[in-house]
Amino acid sequence: MNRVEGGVTAPKGYRAAGTAAGIKPGSTKRDCALIASDVQASVAGAFTTNQFKAAPVLWCAEVCAGGRAQAAFINSGNANACTGEQGCDDARTTAEWVGRGLGVAPDEVCVCSTGVIGVPLPMDRIEHGVQSCLEALSTTGGAEAAEAIMTTDTVPKEAAVEVVLGQGTVRLGAIAKGAGMIAPNLATMVCVITTDAAIGPGPLANLLRAAVSESFNRICVDNDTSTNDTVLCLANGQADVSSLAPGTDDFDQFGRALTALCQDMAKRLVRDGEGATKFVEIEVSGAQSDADAGQIARSIATSQLCKTAFFGQDPNWGRFACAAGYAGIPFAPDAFALWVEDVQLVKNGRAADYEEAAAAACMRKSEFCIRVRVGDGPGAAVFWTSDLSHDYVTINADYRT
Amino acid sequence: MNRVEGGVTAPKGYRAAGTAAGIKPGSTKRDCALIASDVQASVAGAFTTNQFKAAPVLWCAEVCAGGRAQAAFINSGNANACTGEQGCDDARTTAEWVGRGLGVAPDEVCVCSTGVIGVPLPMDRIEHGVQSCLEALSTTGGAEAAEAIMTTDTVPKEAAVEVVLGQGTVRLGAIAKGAGMIAPNLATMVCVITTDAAIGPGPLANLLRAAVSESFNRICVDNDTSTNDTVLCLANGQADVSSLAPGTDDFDQFGRALTALCQDMAKRLVRDGEGATKFVEIEVSGAQSDADAGQIARSIATSQLCKTAFFGQDPNWGRFACAAGYAGIPFAPDAFALWVEDVQLVKNGRAADYEEAAAAACMRKSEFCIRVRVGDGPGAAVFWTSDLSHDYVTINADYRT
């Protein structure tokens, strides 16, 4: 698997665009994105578990249930969430406009929205956005699409990889946005993945579910699960490689590439988390099961006191141990061990013999790892999280999501 | 039930003291407290659910299992948590010193610690603290004890009430400390309650459990459950009122007073939460059960995005609805309604017709209420929470708990 330039337009047979339609109030920034496949593609999606599913989430879930799609339209600046029947009508109307422009049925058009909750979509501007995106579609438009879906993100997020399979070479590309309401299940975000591999919608959905559980469900910025979380994957078969079948090496290799791309995007969301100054990997091992390890890792990753200690660059292991201890997973305190990078701070449940300065030096790095061992069990898990900084408070006390 | 002056020494037959023994590094502040009953008392306790139970928590749980105690010694500045066997020995030794001074058995002496995790107790200083407290014990020493247990608290917390029962008058008094690691289950804290009522240890434990579930388990500052959470209640019978028996009006009235006193103390912890500028009551109704309502209220109370909106004085109801939606409790989005004080912001799951200025004015108050209705069910619950401010980040990026 090799990294290649670009994002959603790196695979064959995709065009994209990002334009400004005035949806972000008082801004001239790009706020509409369109990703279109030249031909009908398989589609799969993963969505928020929030009771308040935004209108576009409900719409996309329907499209994905059909298994076939040819485009995804995304607006930032307005989430079209908590907008009732009107919101559902607006999502459908948007799909109709895009479908008419591309000559495809509306139910082959995914629609995503991200931004302020509870405000009706400004449909005159959306219509303008759809038209301008249709006109601007190009095989090099991925970067503009990545820019158009940003909200509080400080950098656009796109990546692409090439995988040499036994049958030939395929590519996968992605764009994603964060940067707040990022909770482990799943992260608050929109991510669109394209691939020129050929794969049926059922197998694609299975691979996407597995990839999301190892990536977007393992990150945390602020532990708020949004109303609009959406991950979409389109597979259009334009690489001219025969269809990937479950049980083959090519299928597994493609799945690993999809997971790796999702992890890459997930880590980018954390690195650009609201106010983040640190990227911290939390590794837990020795639990009874991977699920138990995941719950302990999540507890540390989401703890306000751990996150402020990361910001303070303070190897305050008492907080990390404490957060592990209230995860709701039984373990023997005497078996507990903890490292910051290679410096062991805790052994047998109490302070190890270590140099405070060495531990503090590790935490002054912009990226570091906290490793925890809770016993001799086979369970292990990794989470990625950011710190809790003054800027997080400033951004969220002022910005209306 | 009437409020009366004082705290733990307001009921008959209690003396207390608070002295400085140098346990808080580089500080001359009081850091040792002793509360002693003139006679053996019934005792009940509620403790942290953290896997890492501090040594004094394990010790107190044993004392409470016996049902009888005559004193509680508390140090701040050091949590005696994650300190292994040595920590357990130190807790026992402390109890022995106090017991010797009072002429009671060590297993009738509760010991609590609060402060930094993972550092062995400085036993020479603890010994000094025990001695100075024994010498200073007085019937007016409650306020000094309240001061001595503070860590990042900005104000000492004590309260007392008098209850006129059919059989006579009894008093209850309490001291408590916060102010970080406050999570709903239970709040991170130490609270000692005294009463001159006569009541057996079993009935007292039942009443304390009910009171805690309606008070300390319903507050949130930062959602971190500490290693040292302890609530103790001593009942010494010195009011000369016959023993309270379950099933009597007097018993129920005493239980309500105990719950009210715990709620009073719990609210003080939130008002003095680290960096708090707001005190917010979250009321949820219309759920299928009280437990469901409680989970929704907790989700709003603990959300970083809601808490930063409180700090920003922003009636950003999308965040409040979103947090309700990811609580894991099913409800119909269309039935959702939300008020800030008396201003209805959400009706039938979408924006109500309201004045933004009126809603904003409510949130500029230092204390306000968010009311949520999720349906027509009988379930209701109340939570109390604070905001997430710059000062919270400053305190916790700098202070080592």
Q: Report residue A111 as tokens.
A: 């629609």
Tell me the three state secondary structure of residue B237: coil
Cα B220 to Cα B276: distance, rounded to the nearest angstrom? 11
* Residue A271 predicted with pLDDT over 80: yes
Q: Which architecture does CATH list for B2-271?
A: 4-Layer Sandwich (3.60)
Q: Could you tell me if A293 and A380 are in contact, meaning their C-beta atoms sit under 8 angstroms apart?
A: yes
Distance (Å) from the alpha carbon of B309 to chain A's nearest alpha carbon = 5
Nearest residue to B92 via CA among B133, B62, B136, B50:
B62
> DSSP H helical segments within A7-122, as ranges?
55-66, 84-102
Cα A327 to Cα A297: distance, rounded to the nearest angstrom? 8
Contact A400 B314 (CB under 8 A): yes
Q: Which residues of chain B have pLDDT under 70?
A: 180-188, 222-226, 398-401
Cα B36 to Cα B139: distance, rounded to the nearest angstrom? 10
Nearest residue to B55 via CA among B188, B230, B185:
B230
Helices A304-311 and B390-398: angle between axes, nearest 10 degrees: 70
Q: Could you tell me if B42 and B57 are in contact, meaning their C-beta atoms sit under 8 angstroms apart?
A: no
Helices B249-271 and B201-213: angle between axes, nearest 10 degrees: 40
3-state SS, B380-399, equals EEEEEEECCCHHHHHHHHHC
Q: Could you tell me if A278 and A387 are in contact, meaning their C-beta atoms sit under 8 angstroms apart?
A: yes
Give the model's pLDDT for residue A82.
87
User: At residue B168, what are phi and psi to the nearest 5 degrees?
Assistant: 145, -175
Task: Taking residues A380-387, report their average pLDDT.
Answer: 93
Q: Which long-range contacts (CB under 8 A, 24 or more apart) does A329-333 make?
A: A329/A287, A329/A288, A329/A292, A329/A295, A329/A296, A329/A374, A329/B51, A330/B51, A331/A287, A331/A296, A331/A374, A331/A375, A331/B51, A332/A374, A332/A375, A333/B51, A333/B52, A333/B53, A333/B82
Distance (Å) from the alpha carbon of B220 to chain A's nearest alpha carbon = 12
Catalytic residue among B188, B194, B230, B259: B188
Distance (Å) from the alpha carbon of B236 to chain A's nearest alpha carbon = 34
Chain A residue numbers touching B322 (CB-CB < 8 A): 50, 52, 81, 117, 181, 224-227
Give the model's pLDDT for residue A273.
83
Give the model's pLDDT for residue A117.
84
Tell me the three state secondary structure of residue B240: coil
Contact A396 B318 (CB under 8 A): no
Give the model's pLDDT for residue B318.
87
pTM: 0.83
Q: What percent of chain A has pLDDT over 70?
A: 96
Give the model's pLDDT for residue B210.
94
Chain A residue numbers touching B349 (CB-CB < 8 A): 52, 82, 84
Chain A residue numbers touching B372 (CB-CB < 8 A): none
Nearest residue to A53 via CA among A94, A95, A83, A23:
A83
Gyration radius of chain B over CA positions: 22
Residues of chain A with CATH 3.10.20.340: 279-398
Give the model's pLDDT for residue B182.
57
Question: Cis omega before residue B179 (within 30°)?
Answer: yes
Buried b (16+ CB within 10 A) or exposed e, A345-384: bbbebbbeebeeeebebbbeeeebbbbbbbbebebbbbbb
Task: Categorize the per-residue pLDDT at A292 as very low, low, confident or very high, splitting at 50, 70 and 90.
Answer: very high
Catalytic amino acids of A?
188
Mention every residue, 6+ apart, whose C-beta is less than 8 A from residue B254.
Answer: B163, B165, B170, B195, B197, B199, B207, B244
Chain A residue numbers touching B334 (CB-CB < 8 A): 84
pLDDT in tens, A30-57: 999 999 999 999 999 988 878 888 999 9
Give the model's pLDDT for residue A185.
44
Q: Other C-beta atoms within 10 Å of A126: how many?
A: 25
Cα A297 to Cα A285: distance, rounded to the nearest angstrom? 9
Residues of chain B with CATH 3.60.70.12: 2-271
pLDDT in tens, A150-177: 988 889 999 999 999 998 999 999 999 9
Q: Could you tell me if A237 and A196 are in contact, meaning their C-beta atoms sit under 8 angstroms apart?
A: yes
| Dihedral Cα B265, B269, B271, B274, nearest 10 deg | 170
Cα B20 to Cα B37: distance, rounded to the nearest angstrom? 22
Q: Which amino acid is at B276?
A: A
Q: Report residue A392 as tokens.
A: 């997080």
> DSSP H helical segments within A272-376, as ranges?
290-302, 304-311, 317-325, 356-364
Question: Cis omega before residue A179 (within 30°)?
Answer: yes
pLDDT in tens, A176-224: 998 766 554 444 578 899 999 999 999 999 999 999 988 888 887 766 6
Q: What letter would DSSP give residue B138?
A: B
pLDDT in tens, A368-378: 999 999 999 99
Going through A61-216 in order, the beta strands assigned E by DSSP cover: 68-78, 109-116, 157-165, 168-177, 190-195
pLDDT in tens, A71-125: 999 999 998 988 889 999 999 999 999 999 999 999 999 999 998 888 899 999 9
From the list A118, A308, A323, the residue facing B397 with the nearest CB is A308
Cα A244 to Cα A256: distance, rounded to the nearest angstrom? 13
A330: buried, middle or exposed (CB in 10 Å: 19+, 13-18, 0-12)?
exposed
CATH fold of the domain at B279-398: Ubiquitin-like (UB roll) (3.10.20)
